[in-house]
Structure 1
Amino acid sequence: MKVGLGNLAQKIRRLLGGQAPLDETFFSALEELLIEGDLSLSTAESFCTQLRNAARTRSVHTEDALRTLFAEIMESCVRVTHLAPNPNQCSLYLLLGVNGSGKTTSAAKLAAYYQTQKVHPILFAAADTFRAAAAEQLAHHGAQLGVRVIAHPGGKDPAAVVFDAGEALRSQKRGLLLVDTAGRLHNKTHLIAELQKIDRIAQTKVSADAYRKILVLDATTGQNAFRQAQTFHEAIGVDALLLAKCDTRARGGAVFSIMQELGIPLAFLGWGERYTDLVEANAREFVSSFLHGER
Structure 2
Amino acid sequence: MAREWSDLLIVRDAQASEPGIAGEGQERRVGRLRRLRENMRRTREALTSEIQATLFEDLSEETWERLEEALIYADVGASTTAQVVEQLEREASANELSGGEALTDRLVELLADIARTGEDHINLLAKPTVILMAGVNGTGKTTTTGKLAWHLSQEAGQSVLLAAADTFRAAGVEQLELWAERAGATFVKGPAGADPGSVAYDAVATARRDGADVVIIDTAGRLHTQDDLMAELAKVRRVIAKQDPQAPHETLLTVDATTGQNGLRQARLFAESVQVSGIVLTKLDGTAKGGIALAISHELGIPVKLIGVGEQLQDLRPFDPPEFARALVS
Give the alignment's TM-score, normalised by structure 1: 0.93
- DSSP 3-state at the match of 2:139: coil
Q: Deviation at 1:169?
A: 1.2
Match of 2:98 among 42, 45, 61: 61
Q: Deviation at 1:58?
A: 4.7
Is the CA contact 1:4–1:251 (under 8 Å) kept in the aligned structure 2?
A: no
1:52 aligns with 2:89: yes
What residue ranges of structure 2 are gaps of 5+ in the alignment? 1-34
Give aligned pairs, total: 291
Tell me what 2:65 maps to.
Answer: 28
1:6 aligns with 2:41: yes
Tell me what 2:136 maps to.
Answer: 98
Is the CA contact 1:91–1:206 (under 8 Å) kept in the aligned structure 2?
A: no
Question: Following superposition of structure 1 onto structure 2, how do residues 128-277 of structure 1 map, counting pairs within 5 Å?
Answer: 128-206=166-244, 208=246, 211-277=249-315
The whole-number CA distance in structure 1 between the counterparts of 2:257 and 2:139 is 9
Tell me what 1:288 maps to.
Answer: 326
The whole-number CA distance in structure 2 between the counterparts of 1:223 and 1:12 is 18
Tell me what 1:16 maps to.
Answer: 51
User: In 2 relative to 1, CA 150–174 (structure 1 residues): closer, same or farther, beyond 3 Å?
Assistant: closer
Is the CA contact 1:101–1:244 (under 8 Å) kept in the aligned structure 2?
A: yes
Alpha-carbon displacement from aligned partner over 1:141-171 (angstroms, at most 9, x marks no partner): 1122211111013233111100100101111
The whole-number CA distance in structure 2 between the counterparts of 1:274 and 1:59 is 43
- DSSP 3-state at the match of 1:238: coil
The whole-number CA distance in structure 1 between the counterparts of 2:245 and 2:124 is 12
Q: Deviation at 1:140?
A: 1.0
The whole-number CA distance in structure 1 between the counterparts of 2:121 and 2:152 is 12
1:83 aligns with 2:122: yes
**Structure 2: which amino acid aligns with 1:249?**
T
RMSD of aligned alpha carbons: 1.8
Tell me what 2:25 maps to.
Answer: none
Q: Deviation at 1:174?
A: 4.5
The whole-number CA distance in structure 1 between the counterparts of 2:286 and 2:216 is 26
User: In 2 relative to 1, CA 58–85 (structure 1 residues): closer, same or farther, beyond 3 Å?
Assistant: farther
**Structure 2: which amino acid aligns with 1:63?**
G
Is the CA contact 2:137–2:222 (under 8 Å) kept in the aligned structure 1?
A: yes
Alpha-carbon displacement from aligned partner over 1:21-80 (angstroms, at most 9, x marks no partner): 222211111111111111221111111111111233353224211111111111111126
Alpha-carbon displacement from aligned partner over 1:70-111 (angstroms, at most 9, x marks no partner): 11111111126121412x621011111000000110011101
What residue ranges of structure 1 are gaps of 5+ in the alignment? none
Give the alignment's TM-score, normalised by structure 2: 0.83
Is the CA contact 1:91–1:177 (under 8 Å) kept in the aligned structure 2?
A: yes
The whole-number CA distance in structure 2 between the counterparts of 1:93 and 1:133 is 22
Is the CA contact 1:126–1:161 (under 8 Å) kept in the aligned structure 2?
A: yes
